[in-house]
Amino acid sequence: MSTTPTPRVHRLNLYRQYFELVASGSKAIEVRVKYPHLENLAAGDRIEFRIKDTEELCEVEVLRVTEYPSFEALLDGEGAGNVNPSASRDQQLANIRAIYGPEKEALGALAIEIKLL
């Protein structure tokens, strides 16, 4: 008798504009820095996204995690429209770099393919 392991649940905060894209199902790729607490993130895991200091949350399944050396490489590899269908590639790069400085980007960029549950 085999038992399916319970998926790990990661709890992450999102800014409202990105939360809305995830909650609507239009955002296929979440961008994160490769922080130590995300190193074990894997397909099959769940992420509970929350808007900080609110009760609003949505849950997604992780389909794939791909590491890139930079945010630029990530946007080129994944397609900017999958990361944020409502902003141009250049806008997205500026937005991501406003959130994460160069010292964070140097840790590596993660493209997390997600599916709304």
pLDDT digits (tens, 9 = 90+) for 68-90: 999 999 999 999 999 999 999 99
**Type of residue at 22:** V
Contact 86, 24 (CB under 8 A): no
**Longest alpha-carbon distance in the chain:** 52
Tell how far CA 94 is from the center of its chain.
16
Rounded-to-5 percentages of helix, strand, coil across the chain: 30, 30, 35
Parallel, antiparallel, or unpaired: how do β-strands 29-33 and 46-51 relate?
Answer: unpaired
Q: What is the pLDDT of residue 51?
A: 96
| Model confidence pTM above 0.75 | yes
Residues of the chain with pLDDT under 50: none
9-116 folds as 2.30.130
